[in-house]
Structure 1
Amino acid sequence: MSEEGVAYASPAGRGVLAATVLGSGMVFLDSTVANVALRPIGKALDADLAVLQWVVNGYTLALAALILLGGSLGDRFGRRRVFVVGTVWFAVGSLLCGLAPTGAVLVAARVLQGVGGALLTPGSLAILQTSLRHEDRARAIGAWSGLAGLSSAAGPLVGGWLVSALSWRWAFLLNLPLAVVVVTIALRCVPESRSTAVPRLDPLGALLAALALGGSTYALVSWGSPAAWAALVVGVASAVAFLGWQRVALAPMLPLGIFRSRAFSAANVATFVVYGGLAGVTFLLVLDLQVASGFSPLVSGSLLLPITAMMLLLSSHSGALATRTGARLPMTVGPVIVAVSVLVLATLPEGGLSWLVALVGAALLGLGMAVLVAPLTATVLASVGDEHAGLASGVNNAVARTASLVAVAALPVVVGLGGDDYADPRVLHPAYRTAMLLCAGLVALGAVVSWVGVPGRADAEG
């Protein structure tokens, strides 16, 4: 590789893109594929709503708590090396998920999956940012956003097909052959890179972050029990301790000075509210389609196919569009479209023509995310130096995962769902509609944050 980096259109450049897209795609796929399988998992393992929440949140918790450490490990010990280790770890966790005999074992395996995802996800974007030529990075990030985002969008369809045709266990076992392909391509095509700007790691920071997120999440999921208050105290105290430690640590996991960048801070606040809203939608939508509308997992996943189509067709162009218009406009318009789509999905009737509403809502959701994701990602990476590419990617991913964690834990509490309520359409459907209105408001807030906080084209050039 030359000092300037490899060309996007070269065989090496295509290999770098393929490895990073497939690797991060597995992580994104498993963020959504499990949602379609929740109802079958609940039946097979006799799991209540709290267990199903932890099937989603155990994975997200490990990602959110450790993804910053994963980015720092890559910067310090080699981005390709940590990326490959994370891929193998993720595959082992997926195998354990597929073999889990009980809900508790499945949750533990999902946590292990999340650890692997935290190692490989920040490395994928950092590898693109440091391996490709400067002039090719926006185009590559746009392609990565579209193709990797496609994995998230395809999750309900892939999961629905696997659950209906085979078993919910294959929604996890699918990752094993994908991991073999990722490791093979990475070892052949991805150049090793590291940064000397990260002399030490911050295990105490990672521990405090995990306690903060884990305690708060447990408190929300088990709200109303005596243990919830103890968990909340642990979570809040750990969060305060984490911020205090980051101010004085010699090598903080999250250098707070990085938030002095207006664009970086605004992009991450927008990420938090938008992805929090999206997590609430994806968690409850597929359950409602199956329980209240009576669709099978395969049909429920298929109804979300327009998300996949819109992401595939449009995301690769949004990076180039943002280069011409500046990031503020697409980062404002994208969340507005997504908020409208969630309002459409809130009108799902209990039975009837809900398939038509779902298709329209999914198409608008895919359009909005296609407009938003690439400019958002490019803004996050461009607001810091190349030496902090892994850190910036890790922070943004941690913010997105934390938002998902909080939304999935809090929404059922806010709308009054608990126990086996998710299996009763008379209880689930009204709660679903209320939740969708709340999620639409969160996403719309992301548009406001982007318009106010993200510099326009003239400001950026100035």
Structure 2
Amino acid sequence: MSSTTPPPTRRRLILGVLIFAQLLIWLDGTILSTAFETLSDPVRGLGATPGQLQWATGAYTLAFAGLMFTGGALGDRFGHRNTLLAGMALFGIASAIAAYATTPGQLIAGRAVMGIGAALLVPATMAVVSWTFEPAERPAAFGRLSSFAGVGLAAGPILAGALLARFWWGSVFLVNVPVVVLGLGFIARYVPNSRSPQVRRLDPAGMLLSTAGLGFLTYGLIRAGQDASFAQPRVWGWTAAGIVLIAAFVVTELRIAHPSFDPRLMAQRRFAAGNITLMMVFLAMTAGSFYLAFYLQGARQYSAFDASLLALPGALGVVVGSPVAVRLAGRTSVRLVSSVSLTVAALAMGSLALFDTATPIAWYSAVMLVQGTSIGMVIAPVTGAVLGSLSPERSGAGSAVNSTLRQTGSVLGIAAGGTITSIVYQRSIDGSLTGLPDAVRRQAHVSAELARHVAAATHDTRLADAADAAFLHAMHVGALWTAGFALIGAAVLAVGFRPDRRTGPVKEEARPRLTTSSPRS
């Protein structure tokens, strides 16, 4: 044990504090989607449109992805405990802002600030673990840290459902505040203020270009859903601007000595294929999460708590599938286990195109279990193979690329899922709105949730039935698109992880590093 390494009891205590702090991130990754139906209700919530709900999710992930490297660099300069404290405090303040928002815009702003807090928290946590534990102990420490992500993944929807059953929608954000208060005390008392002797340089150009590029691209996609068309100049104009800025970001990162996102790593076939696969997995997962919440609570009329229980098999499947996949991949290969698993996940996602309001709900839970288990059998071994394929001195840069592409997939997924659902719904409902008053037609055209609200107020059962039918058609189309995203990931993995003909399978593919990364980590 080195002179700077804390004694064993202190190390375990520090790890426990970090796990407690990370609960904020893990819970928040799944807690919001449970509240979608309530937030869209003009009486019980904010009357948020699908586009506003997309931004409530996307603003958090966009800030998280764009500022994560900056958060790590600030920790190197000012100490990782100080960065942890700042991130926790910011997350708590932003949670209170989101909880008491009176407009969708205020909610979106609060969520964006929460993303900034998360961008400070996550890299500081990883750094503290590295400084607290000896090299031989770090894999086990990271394994324990990430294993609790499954707990947060499973507990998030259930906690949200229980809160929504008793309190107003803001309680799903306000619950973060006591966690923050306790976390601040624990961090200040037990976590050392370690800092790196080699301070990373800030990359303001990269931060601005990547965040703006991804933001413009996301805005264009969400705008398409609001306009029900990709042909409008404000849609393709913003989308094109986003693509140009992302290209400029890549060029900029190639030209600087210490980039926040090193594109050169993508020249390695397995590293590139694995990260693209993970990006497509996260894209498919978040795209599906958008319409599934409305299917259960809107079309099927389940309460938020009951809907959260129905999501539990999927979360448990991820937890169970991860260690099983790592063992299987050790006996065979990551390519075989994960490409087959992702294909099965795609079939499960696509099977939702056969569901309607009369489908036995047990079938839904079964599909979620298969989908969750299959996804768990992709994320853990692929992440281990990707990071294990790099030399130790490049592992930090590789981890930054891996985390950034995951978050990028999440941002694009919520934009794509919401936009596809909105476009198909609006085109499907139009024929049923003929002859209705203008005010009714305008509201019913926005979303199925507003259509049901208007139908209840006017006692128009035909409008409610039309809204359900239009939404189900939109969900079916969205399910097929989501399955397609997952199949693209499976194909990329199968091709990119193929054995080299001259050297045979590489060690990292046959023996992936044990990791139980959560879909939201």
TM-score (norm 1): 0.88
Contact 1:277 1:407 in 2 (8 A): yes
Q: Which moved more, 1:266-275 or 1:320-329?
A: 320-329
Secondary structure in 1 matching 2:355: coil
The whole-number CA distance in structure 2 between the counterparts of 1:32 and 1:392 is: 26
Structure 1 vs Structure 2 CA RMSD: 3.0
Which AA in structure 2 matches 1:144?
A: L
Q: Which moved more, 1:289-298 or 1:74-83?
A: 74-83
Residues 334 and 53 of structure 1: CA distance in aligned 2, closer, same or farther (over 3 Å): same
The whole-number CA distance in structure 2 between the counterparts of 1:183 and 1:284 is: 36
Partner of 2:120: 119
Partner of 1:14: 12
Mark the runs of 5 or more structure 2 residues left unpaired by the alignment.
427-444, 450-466, 511-521
Residues 226 and 448 of structure 1: CA distance in aligned 2, closer, same or farther (over 3 Å): closer
The whole-number CA distance in structure 2 between the counterparts of 1:129 and 1:455 is: 33
1:205-255 superposed Cα distances (whole Å, 9 cap, x missing partner) = 111111101111111111245533442243123212212211223432212
Which AA in structure 1 matches 2:306?
A: V
> What pairs with 1:180-219 in structure 2 (closer than 5 Å)?
180-219=181-220
Q: CA deviation at 1:368?
A: 1.9
Q: Percent identical across equivalent pairs?
A: 30
The whole-number CA distance in structure 1 between the counterparts of 2:293 and 2:174 is: 21
Contact 1:31 1:56 in 2 (8 A): no
Q: Aligned pair 1:270/2:268, yes or no?
A: no
Q: CA deviation at 1:141?
A: 3.7
Residues 332 and 80 of structure 1: CA distance in aligned 2, closer, same or farther (over 3 Å): farther
Partner of 1:63: 64
Which AA in structure 1 matches 2:202?
A: L
Partner of 1:431: 474
The whole-number CA distance in structure 2 between the counterparts of 1:178 and 1:151 is: 13
The whole-number CA distance in structure 1 between the counterparts of 2:281 and 2:140 is: 23
Contact 2:70 2:202 in 1 (8 A): yes
The whole-number CA distance in structure 1 between the counterparts of 2:382 and 2:67 is: 22
Contact 1:142 1:317 in 2 (8 A): no
Residues 368 and 124 of structure 1: CA distance in aligned 2, closer, same or farther (over 3 Å): farther
> Number of paired residues?
459
**Higher relative contact order (Cα pairs below 8 Å, separated by 6+ residues):** 1
Residues 451 and 4 of structure 1: CA distance in aligned 2, closer, same or farther (over 3 Å): farther
The whole-number CA distance in structure 2 between the counterparts of 1:260 and 1:76 is: 31
Q: Which moved more, 1:87-96 or 1:329-338?
A: 329-338
> What pairs with 1:266-305 in structure 2 (closer than 5 Å)?
266-305=273-312
Secondary structure in 2 matching 1:94: helix
Partner of 1:25: 23
Rg larger for: 2
Contact 1:264 1:383 in 2 (8 A): yes
Contact 1:122 1:393 in 2 (8 A): no
The whole-number CA distance in structure 2 between the counterparts of 1:153 and 1:63 is: 21
Which AA in structure 2 matches 1:407?
A: G
User: Which of residues 470, 493, 497 in structure 2 aligns to 1:450?
Assistant: 493
Residues 4 and 284 of structure 1: CA distance in aligned 2, closer, same or farther (over 3 Å): farther
Which AA in structure 1 matches 2:376?
A: A
Q: Aligned pair 1:393/2:399, yes or no?
A: yes
Residues 188 and 445 of structure 1: CA distance in aligned 2, closer, same or farther (over 3 Å): farther
Q: Aligned pair 1:460/2:507, yes or no?
A: yes
User: Which of residues 381, 399, 405 in structure 2 aligns to 1:375?
Assistant: 381
Q: CA deviation at 1:273?
A: 0.6
Contact 1:4 1:134 in 2 (8 A): no
> What pairs with 1:214-233 in structure 2 (closer than 5 Å)?
214-223=215-224, 224=227, 226-233=233-240
> What pairs with 1:30-429 in structure 2 (closer than 5 Å)?
30-43=28-41, 44-129=45-130, 131-223=132-224, 224=227, 226-313=233-320, 315=322, 327-353=334-360, 355-384=361-390, 386=392, 390-415=396-421, 416=423, 417=425, 420-423=446-449, 424-429=467-472
Contact 1:125 1:393 in 2 (8 A): no
Contact 2:290 2:418 in 1 (8 A): no
1:390-440 superposed Cα distances (whole Å, 9 cap, x missing partner) = 543332222112112112212343352456224232211111111112212
Contact 1:84 1:183 in 2 (8 A): yes
Contact 1:142 1:320 in 2 (8 A): no
Q: CA deviation at 1:168?
A: 1.4
Residues 142 and 263 of structure 1: CA distance in aligned 2, closer, same or farther (over 3 Å): farther
The whole-number CA distance in structure 2 between the counterparts of 1:434 and 1:347 is: 10
Residues 214 and 302 of structure 1: CA distance in aligned 2, closer, same or farther (over 3 Å): same
Secondary structure in 2 matching 1:45: coil
Q: CA deviation at 1:129?
A: 4.7
Q: CA deviation at 1:316?
A: 5.5
The whole-number CA distance in structure 1 between the counterparts of 2:498 and 2:72 is: 26
The whole-number CA distance in structure 1 between the counterparts of 2:505 and 2:131 is: 27
Contact 1:65 1:206 in 2 (8 A): yes
Contact 1:48 1:420 in 2 (8 A): yes
Secondary structure in 2 matching 1:303: helix
Residues 2 and 284 of structure 1: CA distance in aligned 2, closer, same or farther (over 3 Å): farther
Residues 291 and 199 of structure 1: CA distance in aligned 2, closer, same or farther (over 3 Å): closer
The whole-number CA distance in structure 2 between the counterparts of 1:319 and 1:91 is: 36
1:89-115 superposed Cα distances (whole Å, 9 cap, x missing partner) = 111111111111111111111111111
Q: CA deviation at 1:76?
A: 4.9
Mark the runs of 5 or more structure 1 residues left unpaired by the alignment.
none
Q: Which moved more, 1:266-275 or 1:419-428?
A: 419-428
Contact 1:156 1:304 in 2 (8 A): yes
TM-score (norm 2): 0.79
